[in-house]
Amino acid sequence: MSSTADTVRVHLLMEGYVQGVSFRWYARQEAERLGLRGWVRNLPTGEVEAVVEGPAATVEEFVNWCGHGPPAARVDRVETVREEPRGEGRFTVLRGPIF
């Protein structure tokens, strides 16, 4: 397990045909495979938003995966913002309205 000093956090926004293609479920599967923490959710504007924390190389692998997403997706753009790690828990799919 990596130390807190080795942990990075990236906030992602995926645009394109990314809803209705199980993007969130595949993202959770990929994050779990990589041992990452964080969350993913659909936005009412049609994008998918995610936050991921873990070792830099592994987070980069997840970011690269988000560039194409699951088989039925068409990802046109991935925006990434590096943030300070906050100690996210197990990777989850968030549902429900966004306030």
56-62 long-range CB contacts below 8 Å, 24 or more apart? Answer: 56/6, 56/8, 58/34, 59/8, 59/9, 59/10, 61/34, 62/10, 62/30, 62/31, 62/34, 62/36
33 is catalytic: no
pLDDT at res. 95:
87
pLDDT digits (tens, 9 = 90+) for 42-99: 999 999 999 999 999 999 999 999 999 999 999 999 999 999 999 999 999 998 655 4
pLDDT at res. 96:
62
From the candidates 9, 41, 42, 86, give the one annotated as an active-site residue.
Answer: 42
24 is catalytic: yes
7-87 CATH fold: Alpha-Beta Plaits (3.30.70)
Q: Stretch 5-12: mean pLDDT, rounded?
A: 92
From the candidates 9, 24, 28, 37, give the one annotated as an active-site residue.
Answer: 24
pLDDT at res. 4:
59
Comparing 54 with 5, which gets the higher pLDDT? 54
pLDDT at res. 1:
41
